[in-house]
Chains A and B, each alone.
Chain A
Amino acid sequence: AQSVTQLGSHVSVSEGALVLLRCNYSSSVPPYLFWYVQYPNQGLQLLLKYTSAATLVKGINGFEAEFKKSETSFHLTKPSAHMSDAAEYFCAVSGTGANSKLTFGKGITLSVRP
């Protein structure tokens, strides 16, 4: 079985500050890991994914995440927050073949203060 833990439901940062959204996973097989973003009243959009190549993954809009197997973590970071980053962020894990469904964390709402 696979699972994802996103601690906390809400993070607030100032514009220009570092964004750090935490994600820990549990998986009995090598996982595929994803971060999706959902802007208000919009659908889910992929930010980045880890598929067992490079452990540091760069995504869209300046976001990146590092896969750390020893810590079972896949935290999302952005060096400098922008007002447009305000959204809900979901970490997800999947397997392969018939187990390719996404198992999502509960999501974290990011607020950016001017």
Chain B
Amino acid sequence: GAGVSQSPSNKVTEKGKDVELRCDPISGHTALYWYRQSLGQGLEFLIYFQGNSAPDKSGLPSDRFSAERTGGSVSTLTIQRTQQEDSAVYLCASSFGYGRGGFEQFFGPGTRLTVL
């Protein structure tokens, strides 16, 4: 079956513009995660969705970052008034379940964001 897909694969924007990044999880996966990967900070957690609710938003770095998930499926990460330090690869992952834990998270190919 299809894996996690993300779009766009690359996004170049100017400082101060808003961007939207999209994630399509694996069908049937109830959990969805956003991470970002940058040279200086490594892999950082941003936000976790279980269904359409977000029980853990602790990784969002500022109020310029927001995310939503609709229909328990597609998620959009929005960055408002982008800054150069937002340049990174944004990764989405999905998995089964909740509760016991230890479920494998399947990662998408990422969106490379460059803020000029």
Smallest CB–CB gap between A97 and chain B, Å? 6
Residues on the B chain within 8 Å of A101, using CB: 33, 45, 48, 56, 59
Residues on the A chain within 8 Å of B100, using CB: 96
How many pairs, one residue from A and one from B, have CB atoms within 8 Å of each other in the complex? Answer: 65
Residues on the A chain within 8 Å of B105, using CB: 46, 102
B99: CB under 8 A from chain A? yes
Smallest CB–CB gap between A77 and chain B, Å? 20
Interface stretch (choices B18-26, B79-87, B107-115): B107-115
For chain B, the bracket of interface size reads: 20 to 34
Smallest CB–CB gap between A53 and chain B, Å? 9
Quick one: CB contact mask for A92-103 with B, threshold 8 Å, 1 for yes? 101111111111
Binding site for A on B (CB under 8 A): 31, 33, 35, 42-45, 48, 50, 55-56, 59, 91, 93, 95, 98-110
Residues on the B chain within 8 Å of A51, using CB: 101-102
Residues on the B chain within 8 Å of A99, using CB: 56
A25: CB under 8 A from chain B? no
Binding site for B on A (CB under 8 A): 32, 34, 36, 42-46, 49, 51-52, 90, 92, 94-107
Nearest to B102 among chain A residues (CB) is: A51
Q: Is the CB of A49 within 8 A of B104?
A: yes
